[in-house]
Chain A
Amino acid sequence: MSEPEASLPEPGNLNLAWPLFRHSVECGENAALVLDEKVFSYSELASLAARVAGWIGASAPAAAGETRVAIVASRSLEAYAGILGACWAGAAYVPINPKLPAHTLRQILEVAQPRAIIVDAAGWRRLEESGAIGEVPVLPPGSLEGAPVLDGISALEQPVAFAGDRVAYVIFTSGTTGAPKGVIIRADSVRHFLDYLGSLYELDCRDRFSNFSEISFDFSVLDLWLAWDSGASLHVVPEAQLLAPAKFIREHQLTFWASVPSAIGFMDRLKQLKEGVFPWLRVSYFCGEALPLASAVAWQLAAPNSVVDNHYGPTESTVACSVERLSNPPRTTPGRDIIPIGRAYPGMRLAIVDEAGRFLPAGESGELALSGPQIAAGYLGAPELTQARFPQLEHPEFGLSRWYLTGDLALQDSQGTFHHLGRVDYQVKILGHRIELEEVDGHLREVCGCGSAAAVAWPMHHGTADGIVAFVAGSSLGPGEIMTRLKARLAPYAMPREIISLPSLPLTQNGKTDRKALLSILDERAHAIGS
């Protein structure tokens, strides 16, 4: 019996949907996606993706240049089949969280200019609120479960050829000016990332992957594509179990766990990390924020057969570009009780630069700069910002090349390991989400109608914030009204947890808002009530 022609590898085709298609031909019965206890095989998922791709081709015929397809969905069949279908059709996908306020969704769509939009029920509601319906073709919710929209549209048989220099996806992150930035990632960057992890972890179709993060967060790039590269199954953690997913990990006997480290903190606090509770786990991939030593150790105890890896990387480096494995005894970052960010993935480079872009030797702290094949092509529709953050720099050893300036403060120790020391700006991380405090300030000032407003991240543990507290001065609005108005503008994770009114805000000598003084107000208050 001859192999079906479609199963032959297609050299040079970096379509992200290609491996899933190949598995659907070679081992189509295997589980590809487990969603709300429903199992979708590789054949089933490939056939859904082929139908979505057919719809994209019919409703948004590709003109010259890049086609982008937005997916406004969360933990739904539309989210996964939508992303796959977009790739299958040869489009770049733009995943968007339906929990974002309509205002932000509108801003993102204006920059992204998608030729088609795929939504689930939550995405549809948000899209209606944003007033964006009617501008581009939308595949409505339920279309994949028998609604007549796809009737009469022929499926696209296999993923189209996709060259490495084309855009695979655009993921939006918080921007200082209040407008989200769309990070453009090319297909060859994703391939570099996936190939390295594939070789590092020796994955196969027996693996069972978690999908903890939203599709709009680039962590999902790892979950989806690494699982489907390997022929493994992807298990979507339901929203109701996100806070403490220990039960889910056990019930699904996951072998590969990937999440932000705060997930460990919650599970530990809820006393779920009992010794040996996750015997099947063999890879634990943490990324997105600092990994505290205590969390890493607690996790290792619960998952004795797993490697515990701390990966580092901003969205601009295609998920992650350096790694440190928890060792015994563990290495830590001096003074911070966190696991170092380790060493660069093969092919990637990490270096420390000063404010003038000059490279600094080991032992000196400065801004962390990244270079290599995983570096983003830039920010969508923002050439000036792209030029500022992705400069050409002259390295004494490697010569002139393109670097990404992360805004992270770091140093390399004498052994070559990199350590994360904080930020050079006002970006903070909450549950792995990037939040620019200046963006929150801007929205606060606008909704309060006063010039004096500032946000701080508080309390901080190991360089990661629990939440945001906002200070306002001279606003006629009460905290409740301010919160209500902010909700229309800020993502849920960027919302202040409390709003404090002061007669005036403390200023630094330069006349800027003194965020340190605001933090000490909070520290003193916490101290006074003894918590």
Chain B
Amino acid sequence: MEAKEKIRARIQDILSRRGDDQPFGEQDSLIFSGRIDSLNVLEIVTFLEEEFHLDISEVDFDQTQFDSLESIAALV
């Protein structure tokens, strides 16, 4: 599975746990729209670290980088 598809599945999983079954596009806002919260962001960070060996200390973290599937996928 492509990295982006793995991340998409993970986000879908988080959203459905939050009772959000609406579809989301690659550029749709996740954080600023309020669809995911700060703990979900940490969950995604942990996922990226484990799955793709992303070193978050190398990323000068900015919420905008985590706001859409497209921008998250661009990190890995």
Does B37 reach chain A (CB closer than 8 Å)? yes
Q: Is the CB of A240 within 8 A of B18?
A: no
Q: Is the CB of A271 within 8 A of B38?
A: no
How many Å lie between the Cα of A243 and that of B67 in the bound state? 12
B contact residues around A240 at 8 Å (CB): 32, 62-64
Does A409 reach chain B (CB closer than 8 Å)? no
How many Å lie between the Cα of A483 and that of B34 in the bound state? 13
Near A by CB (< 8 A), chain B positions 23-76 give: 31-32, 34, 37-39, 41-42, 45, 56-57, 60-64
Using an 8 Å CB-CB cutoff, how does the interface string of A233-256 with B read, 1 for contact, 0 for none? 000000111111011000000000
How many Å lie between the Cα of A506 and that of B64 in the bound state? 42
Q: Is the CB of B63 within 8 A of A241?
A: yes
How many Å lie between the Cα of A431 and that of B56 in the bound state? 23
Q: Is the CB of B64 within 8 A of A266?
A: no
Q: Is the CB of B19 within 8 A of A241?
A: no
Does A383 reach chain B (CB closer than 8 Å)? no
A175-183, A491-499, A510-518: which one contacts chain B?
Answer: A491-499
Known: A466-B39, A480-B21, A497-B39. A247 touches B34 (CB 8 A): no
A contact residues around B57 at 8 Å (CB): 270-272, 274
A contact residues around B20 at 8 Å (CB): 480, 483
Using an 8 Å CB-CB cutoff, how does the interface string of A455-484 with B read, 1 for contact, 0 for none? 000000000001100000000001111111
Q: Is the CB of B19 within 8 A of A483?
A: yes
Which chain B residue has the least Cβ–Cβ distance from A265?
A: B42
Count chain B residues whose beta carbon lies closer than 8 angstroms to a beta carbon of A: 21
Q: Which of A99, A270, A483, A497 contacts B37 (CB 8 A)?
A: A497
Using an 8 Å CB-CB cutoff, how does the interface string of A59-79 with B read, 1 for contact, 0 for none? 000000000000000000000
> How near does chain A come to B35, taking the closest CB pair, in angstroms?
11
Q: Which of A270, A482, A497 contacts B56 (CB 8 A)?
A: A270
Does A269 reach chain B (CB closer than 8 Å)? yes
Which chain B residue has the least Cβ–Cβ distance from A238?
A: B63
Question: B37, B41, B45 — which one has the most chain A CB atoms within 10 A of its CB?
Answer: B37
Which chain A residue has the least Cβ–Cβ distance from B22?
A: A480
A contact residues around B60 at 8 Å (CB): 247
Known: A269-B42, A271-B57. A243 touches B19 (CB 8 A): no
How many Å lie between the Cα of A499 and that of B38 in the bound state? 18
How many Å lie between the Cα of A270 and that of B45 in the bound state? 8
> How near does chain B come to A80, taking the closest CB pair, in angstroms?
21
How many Å lie between the Cα of A258 and that of B18 in the bound state? 31
Which chain A residue has the least Cβ–Cβ distance from B66?
A: A243
A contact residues around B56 at 8 Å (CB): 270-271
How many Å lie between the Cα of A239 and that of B38 in the bound state? 12
A contact residues around B64 at 8 Å (CB): 240
Which chain B residue has the least Cβ–Cβ distance from A481?
A: B19
Known: A269-B42, A271-B56. A492 touches B61 (CB 8 A): no
How many Å lie between the Cα of A483 and that of B21 in the bound state? 11
> How near does chain B come to A267, taking the closest CB pair, in angstroms?
9
Q: Which of B18, B31, B32, B61 contacts A498 (CB 8 A)?
A: B18
Nearest 6 Cβ contacts at the A-B interface = A483-B19, A271-B57, A479-B19, A480-B19, A270-B61, A240-B63
Chain A interface (Cβ within 8 Å of chain B)? 99, 239-244, 246-247, 266, 269-272, 274, 431, 466-467, 478-484, 492, 497-499
Chain B interface (Cβ within 8 Å of chain A)? 17-21, 31-32, 34, 37-39, 41-42, 45, 56-57, 60-64
Identify 24 residue pairs between A and B in the complex whose beta-carbon atoms are under 8 Å apart, listed by A's number. A240-B62, A240-B64, A241-B62, A242-B63, A243-B31, A243-B41, A266-B38, A266-B42, A269-B45, A270-B61, A271-B56, A272-B61, A431-B38, A480-B19, A480-B20, A481-B19, A483-B18, A484-B19, A492-B34, A492-B37, A497-B17, A497-B18, A498-B17, A498-B19
Known: A240-B63, A466-B39. 6 other contacts (CB 8 A): A270-B45, A270-B57, A272-B61, A492-B34, A497-B17, A498-B18
